[in-house]
Structure 1
């Protein structure tokens, strides 16, 4: 009877769990729909990426249920949501091993498969395996070393093999998770604090504009170079190129050069540049060209999307600032790509002004303060869990009941545990988006590259298990009674080395926290001369991509770029840019706005439009007048010279010491050389054999070069001084 009652009482928990999994599935589909076009995405991409996101999200549900189900007390109703231990064990096995397979085998192979430039599936698979061979060699080599160590310590081959595989995967994931989570625990609250200042947010947007625009312009130029190479390749009709006519036609259709750029085809045909194509066209060359072309198209799409998003933020932020005078805020008509909440609003212009100008900054400050306290609690629990587990703050926030000297997790504790896990995962995953990775991987709305989607999904799957188990270690001895510890934890603690690593290594979270909090990334990069950023450093806003400190005019360049884009004053510059690139060389960097073909389909060339689909003057003073009234922006993010004096209208950027330094420098530069200092050396006369002339006061006779009395050493060799030649 007791078993029947117990099983009957678990029915609400099962129903709740199924509904929660259904909700997680809907959220994951919405995330995929935001970054990928679901209708045109192939199944081999959509299904693995879905499970790579769905399985880690389900762990946020499994951990609180496992904690409540493992509290073996008489009061079953106080457990909250609980399941049978056998159901939990099956769930953990399915979740863990599917995540393991996705992380280490399925997603890496599919990522290289989608990035391969070959046409046939068999050739793509072989190219993917060839690209992952070195990676698997390193993984299996380190696994063999760990297997030997565990086999010597435990002396059971099957358990040693299983423990080695799971422990090494956990340790590698924990190293990455602790580093990324430490960065995110600081960057999330700090970003909220900074965005609460509306004027400061606008200034940072304008400071980032030249950098984003330059990357977009470079991506456009790279794509044009590849398009010209494809056009040159399409003119080869004989020789080895005749063997790949279908492939070359596909490349021509991919770039669509004659239709989208009719003027460019004639430029290519008439150019006399040396062909960059090899003498013999091979399958490997075409595959590499296809790979580079696809990457270039996605890179251009990435930076165009980033530039459009920056324009939206700039227009919206400027409109919020300008609404302080009129007490009314109107963002204009929403663009067709806007979300549901952007197209439908319950605010009036006045209530929208009150919310965005007065209420939203305080809400951001309050949320930032709450998340800062949460970050401090997580870091404190990481530090003390090995030596003083009873001092863990997270432990007391989750375990609310003490029955028979054992902790018990109720429904409230389960909700709090899920919130802790969501914040820890969000801190790590947000840091992934800030990592400067190779190949230009990025998440782009509705146009993410397949290889980038596989890579980000694999990182989510890789971090889920270490973060889940690391959270459970915050709760003291209660986590040792869970099914997850019996499945994974005891294998990690199989050897003393694994147990010590699990307890001591998380203390190194202080390193990324200090590096992010005090801006050590930018300082180290500038000190060592590195040109590559590992993580985005928000304290390094005044530095360019090469680590050099920019002047105070950087945000002005961004402001001018944004205004010129919104006012649509770059048509002549675009045509001039086409002439320069078509004449056989890139020339100097020229400011240009991307062509209509590289914008979204909703943007036309009929007139200047803002990212919100309205005129640039709607709700924004940033586009309130023609850009001719301001000094023109620099041609690129690279500083060529100081901005004109008329552009320095905002004097609030320079503090007292900067102004004092500028005045002292100007005073010293305008001082005249004293007379007594000019007379030094006038009394020393040159000898006649050096061309000295006493009647000229011993002064320099450089003006008499080429005359009879001139001092030109070239005359000793028989050369004419005025002609600049030496006779041998």
Structure 2
């Protein structure tokens, strides 16, 4: 009777798992080239993503399957108790092995730089042995405590392993989720305004371009080392010569300009006198990382320029009310930007009005969800019945059958998805992971292993933390608690940690809300988060938005388009729209733009486009006269002359506003920035 009554739920669960697997494959296809990725890397990464995603489906099914009587559940999607318990065991232990053994070994294996399997595996084991030794030391201390509390039993060893893994995962999950609960709604709200988003992109441009230049220089230096090594390969063994040839084939071709070969030979790359296998492995590893670094920042720079161009195009279309993004390279624009069914007028109102309102609404919804989640985390340990999460999920608390219906299952899945999204968003927002990053179709194999490892590590602690926000009469009947919760609560220390540690969620929440990370950066001298402040909005050469606008403009001109000219053909003779006018930053003027471009050209020694407007002519003439007078060498008798300005011609702030002498008449600057002619 039980089997026949759950046929519909079985079909729903199987179809849901197939859909989840398909979505995971599409995600892997977006970040990894599936055809060239080896199966020994693709299968573990797929499992590390598919299993945590299936937990979001398994937890609501487990809640609906739990009953306090012998009757079968009558509400929602449910499965037999034995099926749920076996599924939890398979899912948890497979995820545990992927998290603590398989993926760490695989990540170092693909990053080793060696050629043969034995050398790669030895290198991976040696690197992971240091980390595992620390875990083993903590595990031995935990084992002594568990034996002291419960005696020497197999359950004590298994409980210790699960409790320690859960504690470490929960510490990381609470910290990341606390940051994401604040950062995600704030990012949506800030990106709602097109002008504010454009200003932020321009402020980020100098840092991104600098990192791209540094990555390019590092890669060129390593390629130069490989070119020198190829010239000296004949003093090594045959295997090493083949290795050097393979490295040379994977690098860019040497420069064909006259004298380039001599420059390569003259460069001191500190190549050892005797080239060993270990040196070549280290060089191979550095070369692969440098290629990944360059691909990462090339993608970030290209995406930033495209987003800035789209934002400027939207602002330029405010007069004509018609938006046309033009032709771009495939994959450079979002799905909404590629829609062809929209007319230019519909596209303008979509990007100028509808999408900003949707982002503001989503930010408000996520902020409200964050507040309710924080409140539930704090009160769940001593007042679980007032937990908002429990109230929204459990709709039949006094029922003899299942206490969670289909609506409660959907809400529970939404809560789990929101918690996981905040934690995973914080991973991409907190910049403390070194060179690891996800790049479209070019993600480094070690980065793919590391990110999938974090997803697998965070999901189980967050799922168990979620069910503890429900009333005890509900979650203590689940198979998840029977399998995992009893082992975590085997000792008073474990039960106390699981109950009260989620209250520390307030620490990362307050730290993100009041920008403690930025203050730490100013005090200590290093950044935990990417600083997006605009403390120097008018500074040039220090990473300000003016320099970023000039960099984006030059990148667009090199591609054959200019983001500050897009859409201007449809304008009238009205005043040009200020592209970055907002309540958080001062308005930009054409004179400011020209001055920023002129300073940038002086720094980079680039030619500046001519401007034939009358205003520019008078300003340029005044500056030339001023420079001629200031730099001319005066005779000896003229240096001793001093002209005192009559009192009736002096102002209270003459010295502070424009300086003294003739300079105030030709180009002197007033306090409000206007040029005096």
- Given that 2:72 and 2:401 are in contact with CA atoms closer than 8 Å, whether structure 1 keeps it comes out as no
Q: Specify the SS of the correspondent of 2:87.
A: helix
Q: Deviations over 1:473-518 (max 9, x none)?
A: 0102110110000000000000000011011111111111111111
Please state if 1:631 is matched with 2:627. Answer: no
Q: Specify the SS of the correspondent of 1:481.
A: coil
Q: State how far apart, in whole Å, the 2-side matches of 1:87 and 1:217 are.
A: 55
Equivalent residue number for residue 667 of structure 1: 656
Equivalent residue number for residue 673 of structure 2: none
Equivalent residue number for residue 300 of structure 2: 306
- Given that 2:74 and 2:402 are in contact with CA atoms closer than 8 Å, whether structure 1 keeps it comes out as no
Q: Specify the SS of the correspondent of 2:597.
A: coil
Q: Deviations over 1:128-165 (max 9, x none)?
A: 11111100100111111101101100113311110010
Please give the residue correspondences for 1:238-387 in structure 2 after superposition, counting only pairs within 5 Å. Answer: 238-240=234-236, 244-258=240-254, 261-263=255-257, 266-268=260-262, 271-337=265-331, 342-387=337-382
Please state if 1:30 is matched with 2:20. Answer: no
- Out of 134, 137, 153, the residue aligned to residue 138 of structure 1 is 134
Q: Deviations over 1:604-640 (max 9, x none)?
A: xxx62589xx989899998xx9x989624648999xx
Alignment gaps of 5+ in structure 1: 569-606, 639-644, 650-662, 673-728
Q: Alpha carbons of 1:567 and 1:486: their partners in 2 closer, same or farther (altered >3 Å)?
A: same
- Given that 1:66 and 1:82 are in contact with CA atoms closer than 8 Å, whether structure 2 keeps it comes out as yes
- Given that 1:56 and 1:464 are in contact with CA atoms closer than 8 Å, whether structure 2 keeps it comes out as yes
Alignment gaps of 5+ in structure 2: 572-576, 580-589, 605-614, 620-651, 662-677
Q: Alpha carbons of 1:65 and 1:282: their partners in 2 closer, same or farther (altered >3 Å)?
A: same
Q: State how far apart, in whole Å, the 2-side matches of 1:425 and 1:565 are.
A: 37
Q: Alpha carbons of 1:636 and 1:268: their partners in 2 closer, same or farther (altered >3 Å)?
A: farther
Q: Alpha carbons of 1:471 and 1:553: their partners in 2 closer, same or farther (altered >3 Å)?
A: closer
Q: State how far apart, in whole Å, the 1-side matches of 2:654 and 2:287 are.
A: 51
The structure with higher relative contact order (CA 8 Å, sep 6+) is 2
Please give the residue correspondences for 1:303-702 in structure 2 after superposition, counting only pairs within 5 Å. Answer: 303-337=297-331, 342-404=337-399, 408-477=403-472, 478-529=474-525, 531=526, 533-536=527-530, 540=533, 542=535, 554-568=544-558, 608=560, 631-632=597-598, 634=600, 667=656, 670=659
- Given that 1:516 and 1:537 are in contact with CA atoms closer than 8 Å, whether structure 2 keeps it comes out as no
Q: Alpha carbons of 1:224 and 1:349: their partners in 2 closer, same or farther (altered >3 Å)?
A: same
Please give the residue correspondences for 1:53-64 in structure 2 after superposition, counting only pairs within 5 Å. Answer: 53-64=49-60
Please state if 1:192 is matched with 2:178. Answer: no
Larger Rg, first or second structure (1 or 2)? 1
Q: Alpha carbons of 1:303 and 1:265: their partners in 2 closer, same or farther (altered >3 Å)?
A: farther
**Segment drifting more, 553-562 vs 487-496:** 553-562
Q: State how far apart, in whole Å, the 2-side matches of 1:276 and 1:616 are.
A: 53
- Given that 1:211 and 1:637 are in contact with CA atoms closer than 8 Å, whether structure 2 keeps it comes out as no
Q: Specify the SS of the correspondent of 1:324.
A: coil
- Given that 1:232 and 1:268 are in contact with CA atoms closer than 8 Å, whether structure 2 keeps it comes out as no
- Given that 2:325 and 2:337 are in contact with CA atoms closer than 8 Å, whether structure 1 keeps it comes out as no
- Give the C-alpha shift of residue 58 in structure 1: 0.3
Q: State how far apart, in whole Å, the 1-side matches of 2:498 and 2:140 are.
A: 21
- Given that 2:106 and 2:124 are in contact with CA atoms closer than 8 Å, whether structure 1 keeps it comes out as yes
Q: Specify the SS of the correspondent of 2:318.
A: helix
Q: State how far apart, in whole Å, the 2-side matches of 1:127 and 1:636 are.
A: 50
- Given that 1:542 and 1:550 are in contact with CA atoms closer than 8 Å, whether structure 2 keeps it comes out as no
- Give the C-alpha shift of residue 219 in structure 1: 0.3
- Give the C-alpha shift of residue 352 in structure 1: 0.8
Moved over 6 A (4+): 549-553, 614-622, 627-630, 635-638, 663-666
- Given that 2:176 and 2:422 are in contact with CA atoms closer than 8 Å, whether structure 1 keeps it comes out as yes
Please give the residue correspondences for 1:106-185 in structure 2 after superposition, counting only pairs within 5 Å. Answer: 106-185=102-181
- Given that 2:204 and 2:548 are in contact with CA atoms closer than 8 Å, whether structure 1 keeps it comes out as yes
- Out of 91, 94, 114, the residue aligned to residue 95 of structure 1 is 91
Q: State how far apart, in whole Å, the 2-side matches of 1:619 and 1:361 are.
A: 24
- Give the C-alpha shift of residue 434 in structure 1: 1.8
Q: Specify the SS of the correspondent of 1:331.
A: coil
Q: State how far apart, in whole Å, the 2-side matches of 1:125 and 1:287 are.
A: 13
Q: Alpha carbons of 1:178 and 1:358: their partners in 2 closer, same or farther (altered >3 Å)?
A: same
- Give the C-alpha shift of residue 390 in structure 1: 1.4
Q: Alpha carbons of 1:496 and 1:483: their partners in 2 closer, same or farther (altered >3 Å)?
A: same
- Give the C-alpha shift of residue 337 in structure 1: 2.6
Q: Specify the SS of the correspondent of 1:106.
A: helix
Q: Specify the SS of the correspondent of 1:18.
A: helix
Q: Deviations over 1:224-254 (max 9, x none)?
A: 1111111111111443366611011011101
Equivalent residue number for residue 229 of structure 2: 233
Q: Deviations over 1:311-330 (max 9, x none)?
A: 11101111111111110111
- Given that 2:146 and 2:491 are in contact with CA atoms closer than 8 Å, whether structure 1 keeps it comes out as yes
Q: Deviations over 1:263-302 (max 9, x none)?
A: 3883445653445211111111111011101100110000
- Give the C-alpha shift of residue 262 in structure 1: 2.4
Q: If the length of structure 1 is used for normalisation, what is the TM-score?
A: 0.77
Q: If the length of structure 2 is used for normalisation, what is the TM-score?
A: 0.82
Q: Specify the SS of the correspondent of 1:337.
A: coil
Q: State how far apart, in whole Å, the 1-side matches of 2:210 and 2:133 are.
A: 39
Please state if 1:19 is matched with 2:15. Answer: yes
Q: State how far apart, in whole Å, the 2-side matches of 1:174 and 1:275 are.
A: 46
Q: Deviations over 1:48-81 (max 9, x none)?
A: 1100000000000000000000034587564200
Q: How large is the Cα RMSD of the aligned pairs?
A: 3.0
Q: Alpha carbons of 1:265 and 1:491: their partners in 2 closer, same or farther (altered >3 Å)?
A: farther
- Given that 2:180 and 2:422 are in contact with CA atoms closer than 8 Å, whether structure 1 keeps it comes out as yes
- Given that 1:561 and 1:633 are in contact with CA atoms closer than 8 Å, whether structure 2 keeps it comes out as no
Q: Alpha carbons of 1:411 and 1:550: their partners in 2 closer, same or farther (altered >3 Å)?
A: farther
Q: Deviations over 1:149-206 (max 9, x none)?
A: 0110011331111001000000000000000000000011001111111111100000
- Given that 1:560 and 1:633 are in contact with CA atoms closer than 8 Å, whether structure 2 keeps it comes out as no
Q: Alpha carbons of 1:636 and 1:123: their partners in 2 closer, same or farther (altered >3 Å)?
A: farther
Q: Alpha carbons of 1:288 and 1:615: their partners in 2 closer, same or farther (altered >3 Å)?
A: farther
